Chains A and B, each alone.
Chain A
Amino acid sequence: MRNARVALIALIAVVALITFFVRIPLPSRGYLNIGDVAVVFAGLVLSSLVQKRGFWWGAAAGGLGSALADVIGGYLIFAPVTLVAKGLEGGCAALAGRRQGLPHWAWLVIGGALMMAAYFVGEWLMPNIGLQGAVSELVPNLIQAASGVIGGRLTFAAYQRLVEGTRA
């Protein structure tokens, strides 16, 4: 499994389908999903396949896949914010993949924090949502970011054992 381009296309589809699959609506018109697990997993997988510009590969998989899920699911207005927010999360996950120990976890946490920050600013500026809606989504986004880091990391560990024959 060394073709990064093929992997990127497959991961964009995986992120979009998984994001679309399980959704819990939120007060501000958004929704909670397990797509973050797929975004972090995509970033980590792509970092193991590409040598350079890993951030952009991870950002493409996370951002495009999640934005596509918004478009398909009727949340078109969220798509631009999602593209940036999930792009940052996927990109940071790819940066984490090139590192070990504390820096590895630090990049994963930074990715989650940037995702939350991007959504907060984006929703604050959106019509019909505003600061009140943006604040009400901080906790759900925190849960989503944390589940993304833990779930994505565990899924990647299973992938490494299964495909690469190594223990994460």
Chain B
Amino acid sequence: MVVIKLVAILAAIIAYFGLLGFGPWYRQLPVQLAALAAVVVWDALRRSWRETLGLLKGTLPFIASLLFFGVIFQLARLQGRTDWLHDTLIKCVIFPSSLVFLRAILSYITYLDILALPLSMDRRFDLITVKAAFQKGGQALGRFTWYLEGYPYLAAEPGWRGALRHQAAKYASLILSLYLFLYEETEHAYLLLQNRYRHLQEGSQ
């Protein structure tokens, strides 16, 4: 049953990207907008409007950069193309749409589904800890970024060299702190799972 559920989810993802991502509906802006509206409502009903709108808000910097480069490419007529702006608008819709769609559909995969998979216990532990690591990491990333922005040692210095140094140090610190945090979290999750599994085995004997 679990395998059927996962295959159905995978098929839905392939169908979604096959039709909207690179398929026949890719260039149809009204269809893309309708798909975005549908997945936003779906995700909001599944979680809350606050969470869904929060996710959409998080995509705004990327959408802004998409628009910025789209306009530049259009003005420069890069590669001789004149459809950069149209292509950019499609991307601006499909990016949040696919993000919300994936979050909504992947939320149907539960820890119980992973446990019921026909895999060895070690592989199931791996999958559970990967899922946990992603959840923890996603939540921690914003906090770490905010903290690093205000960290005096990493304060921006004047001039382009100072700005570059600031950015490099910030991202290196972000990678390092995220890894150290996730290592601890993953190790903790692993130990917890192993102890519970051992306890259940002892209890059933």
Contact = CB atoms under 8 A, between A and B. Distances in A.
Nearest to A41: B175
Contact of A17 (B95, B137, B176): B137
Nearest to B145: A21
A38 B175 contact: yes
A9 B186 contact: yes
Interface stretch (B45-53, B109-117, B148-156, B177-185): B177-185
A17 B73 CA distance: 28
A77 B17 contact: yes
A48 interface: no
Contacts of B172: 37, 151, 154-155, 158
A92 interface: no
Contacts of B179: 10-11, 14, 41, 45, 159
B168 A151 contact: yes
Contacts, number: 113
Interface residues of A, number: 44
A93 to B, nearest CB: 13
B73 A10 contact: no
A21 to B, nearest CB: 6
Interface string B79-98: 10000000000010011011
A24 B175 contact: no
Chain B contact residues: helix, strand, loop or mixed: helix
A37 B183 contact: no
Contacts of A158: 172-173, 176
A158 B176 CA distance: 8
A96 interface: no
A21 B99 contact: no
Interface string A80-122: 0000000000000000000000000000000000000000000
Contact of B171 (A12, A13, A34): A34
Contacts of A13: 130, 133-134, 137, 182, 186
Given A3-B187, A18-B178, 14 more contacts: A3-B190, A7-B183, A14-B137, A14-B175, A14-B182, A16-B134, A17-B137, A17-B138, A18-B174, A37-B172, A38-B175, A45-B179, A74-B95, A76-B21
A102 to B, nearest CB: 24
A168 interface: no
Contacts of A21: 141
B137 A24 contact: no
Contacts of A1: 183
Contacts of B138: 17
